[in-house]
Every structure is written in C-alpha cells, then in structure tokens.
Structure 1
Amino acid sequence: MNNKEIDKLLLDEKEHLNKLHQIVKDTMKEEKLIVNNLLNPPTETLSRGQAISDKVALFGGSWKFIILFAVILTVWIIFNSIIPLKNRFDPYPFILMNLILSTIAALQAPIIMMSQNRQEEKDRMRGENDYLINLKAEMEIRSLHQKIDLLLEEQIKTLFDTQAKQFKILQEINLKIDMVSKKTTP
C-alpha cells in the first residue's frame, strides 16, 4: 500500500468515527428534555386543606379508625341501655347517635374524595414519568440500532475495499508470474 491509500483509509475511519459521534450527540439532545423532566419533577405544594384531607383520608381508611369507631359506638349503645332511663342522654332508638353518624359520613365522604382526586393526579404524573422512561429507553435502542447499522455498513465497505485491493494485488502477482514465466520459457 502506498501513502495515498493509507491516508484514504485513515480519512475513512475518521469519517466513520464522526458519524458515530454525531449519532451520540443527536441522541443526547433528544434525551436531554426527558432526563430533565425525570430528574426535576415539579414539586408538589399542598394547601392546608389538602394536607388535612390527606390526614383524614389516611386515618378514616385505617383499621385503627374502624376499631376505635366500633368501640365508641358499642360503649354509646351499652351506656344508653344500662343506665337508668332518666340519666340516658340518647335513649333507644339512638337518634343523637344516628345524627352524629350521618354528619360524620357527610363530612368524611367529600374529604376522602378530595384526597382521592389528588392521588389520581399523583398516579397520572407517575404514569407520565413511566412513559418518559419508556420513551428514553426506546430512543436509546434506536440509537444503538443506528450505530450497529453504521458499523455494519462501514465493515461491509471496508471488506469490499480490501477484497478489491487483494484482487488488484493478485492480478499484479499474476502479471509478474506471467512475465517471469515468459522470460524463462525459450
């Protein structure tokens, strides 16, 4: 090989590396927004009412609440059934107890719904983050495919160039053999 061929091979390799670098740069640009959204999610600011609704929903949906409420109702019923009739503050059919239960249910339901709406918003944001992560993975896979395709393309080109050079060298050797054989043959 002469210097021109070596320089051409080096130039081809440099172009090949530049293509790979460009693919990496393009991929990094595409992923920058996704990574920024994943690393810096918007901070959640809770109002006082939202914080209270979360605490009420957390307590209202627990076994602690159910057991405590069952104990209070049982004590209420037993107390108003056992003590003398004139000292009962809520005699049977326990109208005051029903009023209190209805009021608790009427207040607790919207508070729990507010908390559930906020939870749905959190779930939606989680779903968006999952989508962004999947999109990022898809972009990385696409980039890898581009790199592999480029490498295969360059390898095939190099293989054809090498075979062409080998064929040329074989022809030169064949010519030299023919020349030598003509000189030795009388």
Structure 2
Amino acid sequence: MKKESIEKLLSDEVNHLDKLHQIVKKTIDDEELIIHNLTHPPIENLTQGQLISDKVAMFGGSWKFIISFFVLLTIWIVFNVLALGVYKFDPYPFILMNLILSCIAALQAPIIMMSQNRQEEKDRERSENDYLINLKAEMQIRSLNKKIDLLLEEQIKTLFETQQKQFELLNEINLKLENKKTI
C-alpha cells in the first residue's frame, strides 16, 4: 500500500511537470510570430518619387537650405540693386524673384507633405511594433500566472493528500493503541 502511494505521488509529480512543460511550449509557440515580426520587419520598397520627396524634405527642412537660400536671395537683391542698366534682370520690386519664391513654395509644400505622410506611416508601424511588444509581455505575464496557479493547485492537492494519509496513519496508530489497551 505504501509503495503504491509513493508511486502515485511520483506519477502525480510527473503529470504536474508535464503540465508545466505544456504551458511553456504553448507560450513559446504563441510568441514565435511576434518575435518573427519584430526581428524581420517588412522591407520598404520606395518608388523614385518617394525617394525624391524624402530627399527634398530632408534638404528643404534643414539649416543648410535656409542659409543657402538666404545667401542666394541676398546676392540676387544686391546684384539687382547695384548692377548697371542692361545687367539688371530683375529691378527693384523684384517681381521675378517673387514669382520664383512662390513657385518654390508651391512645389516644395506638397513634396514635404508626401514625405510627412510616409513618416506617419513609419510611426504607425513603430506603434504596431510597440503594441506587439506589449502583447508579448502580457502573454508572458499570463503564462507566469498560469504556472503559479498550477503550482498552487498542485501544492494544495498534495497537501490535502498528505493530510489524508496522515489521518489514515493516525487512525491506524489509534486502532493499534486501542487494541493494545484491550489486551
């Protein structure tokens, strides 16, 4: 009887370990897709227009552009104010310069907006990756909670079984004591 109870306890322990292994395996399988998406993001295929808009936005929104544009406008104004007769191609109200500035602004604004839209898409992808990371962390926490619940359940079960065996042993001892008293 004692040998059977020891074997039963050992088989229960093996079953308990199997349950823990299954939980770990399921967690690893669930996380595999998330890890794959994070380590292998899709390759970005840019069209020629997207590449150009990114470069224009990068240059148009830099100090290099602002300073070089300011220098060019200063040279334009100084030349047209100081030049003599035929060499003045855009006299004082600088109508040609205003036309060129308007054209540059009209073309540069939508190009920069295209680049900003692409940047927003990249930001959306980053937020999706953040979500996946948070999801992975949540899955790990749930897995840990399952493991803890399983451990507690098994411990309580083992304690009840041990307590039951102790009661049985106490009853046996009590019966033996009563039998000795009657003899």
Correspondence 1:145 to 2:140: no
Following TM superposition, the consecutive aligned residue runs of length 4 or more in structure 1 with deviations greater than 4 angstroms are none
Using the TM superposition, name which of 87-96 and 164-173 deviates more. Answer: 164-173
Secondary structure at 1:43's aligned position in 2? Answer: coil
1:123-134 correspondence runs (5 A): 123-134=123-134
1:18-97 correspondence runs (5 A): 18-97=18-97
What's 2:101 paired with?
101
Q: Give deviations 1:3-44, integer Å, cap 9, x for gaps.
A: 101110011011111111111122222222212211211100
Q: Give deviations 1:158-185, integer Å, cap 9, x for gaps.
A: 01111111121122222222233333xx
CA apart distance, 1:134: 0.8
Aligned mates of 2:42, 2:152 — CA distance in 1: 43
Aligned AA (1:52):
I
CA apart distance, 1:85: 4.1
Aligned mates of 1:86, 1:140 — CA distance in 2: 79
**Residue identity (%):** 70
TM-score (norm 2): 0.94
Aligned mates of 1:172, 1:3 — CA distance in 2: 17
Aligned mates of 1:85, 1:165 — CA distance in 2: 117
CA contact (8 A) 1:85 1:91 kept: no
Q: Give deviations 1:77-97, integer Å, cap 9, x for gaps.
A: 122112234421111100110
Unaligned runs of 5+ in 2: none
- How many equivalent pairs are there? 183
Secondary structure at 1:91's aligned position in 2? Answer: coil
